[in-house]
A and B are shown apart, each in its own frame.
Chain A
């Protein structure tokens, strides 16, 4: 597919995201409207911005992780990276107390440390094996991280509610301009860096041996990719909590629409991720306004069947 055709599809996706964003800003529990003096708009804007940026980072991070592992089933949610980020946040909350809330950069930092630690373990144990080895390793790490987070939530009652809502991917409702500033900035930096690595990921798709003889420093690309995917996933976790499947579905849709060239694929994957998360959050808070569903619940409803479909088509 020609570059101009690919970019035309990216432009169309941006239009969809733009109008979806306007709809999400206007939609609330009382129906459509921006309220007197646009107060509702000011309240909803951080939430919509957080959903867009986190979804973008998840789409780009998922596409990058699939490219690094050469595996269409890799997703930071399924491979435990979000779990690691949340465990990092839980440890920081347990140790830092109220200081953490006054220094939101510390939450981002702790999420990054947790996500990186899980990513490194994932590469060491399951990174070079089969798809099933990678996913099983991710499953184990995810369970370990979730157990750690639950233990901390039970031991420290002050952070219990907030951690439980993080586990269920329900933090978008807490978004304020001051709380999202750091994670939004980190999501943007990490996503742009990962998109810039597109050509390296293209080379890596031919296998490590061929990529290396084509001039790619494979280890360095993997190291950078894993660290910046962890950063994107950690920052997105700070905005939403744990949300699986966006990083799986978005790259898959992008590849179907414009093919596998990574630079444009990652860009489109990010936009599709933003659309999916924003749609999930907006539907979740508007279908049953009295008992809103978290974005994670909505994405899982959509994502689980797609995961099964991809898995059934994938041959080792």
Chain B
């Protein structure tokens, strides 16, 4: 399909002798949001990291905006791709304000800090923040890095972990805003309300794609049980 922005076929990843991803075929259209769900160990994080070009030993074909992320220079990839890991860290104890200097768009970072209701914490150091606040600061940085979202790709690994309900809602809203503005968003989620806010859901289990479709067609009672109770 001509406006398929992310395409991978027969993607397999083996780590320490076990197959984490097994023959994944996936296509994501430009401007689409895709929630990736599945039980622990299903391969969600590995799939996102493969798409970000972080797993050189990945087998099969990955094509993002007509380049293979593993063989594309990090500089070129960073022009259209932003990745936020599940547990983002920073080695040094920045203040919330100074952390924004790491963004290519500090003005957007300041806006997201406001939206996450962290304006009063601008002078606080990262070590003084709660887990949810820290995650919000990293999300603000990642969101600001998108700049103009058109034709950009945002990969979020469990973005609502540690967030309270209000901030989790803001992440869902942000994903809708970004896709509306032309970005393609892929996020892994244990939080099914976040997955439901995506246009499509991909269900992974034991490294294989079980199902892909709209939230209404995918989230059956058995599936919710599998994701939550495996």
Contact = CB atoms under 8 A, between A and B. Distances in A.
A205 B54 contact: no
Given A67-B91, A205-B92, A213-B54, 14 more contacts: A71-B91, A72-B91, A202-B102, A205-B90, A205-B91, A206-B90, A206-B102, A209-B52, A209-B85, A212-B74, A213-B77, A217-B75, A259-B94, A260-B94
Interface of A: 1, 67, 70-72, 202-207, 209-210, 212-218, 255, 259-261
Interface in B196-226: none
Contacts of A261: 98, 101
Interface in B62-107: 73-75, 77-79, 81-85, 88-95, 98, 101-102
A260 B92 CA distance: 6
A206 B79 CA distance: 18
Contacts of A255: 92-93
A207 B85 contact: yes
Interface SS majority for chain A: loop
Contacts of B73: 217
A212 B85 CA distance: 12
B74 A209 contact: no
A209 B54 contact: yes
B83 A210 contact: yes
**Best-surrounded residue of B73, B89, B95, B102 (most CB of chain A within 10 A):** B102
A213 B52 contact: yes
Contacts of B83: 209-210, 213
Q: 3 tightest A-B contacts by CB? A: A215-B78, A260-B92, A70-B91
A206 to B, nearest CB: 6
Contacts of B102: 202-203, 205-206
Nearest to A70: B91
A209 B92 contact: no
A209 B49 CA distance: 9
Nearest to B84: A210
26 contacts: A1-B98, A72-B91, A205-B90, A205-B102, A206-B88, A206-B91, A207-B85, A207-B88, A209-B49, A209-B52, A210-B85, A212-B52, A213-B53, A213-B77, A213-B81, A213-B83, A214-B145, A217-B74, A217-B75, A255-B92, A255-B93, A259-B94, A260-B93, A260-B94, A260-B98, A261-B98
A3 to B, nearest CB: 9
A213 B74 contact: yes
A210 B88 contact: yes
Contact of B95 (A67, A71, A209, A259): A259
A255 B145 CA distance: 25
Contacts of A67: 91
Interface string B157-188: 00000000000000000000000000000000
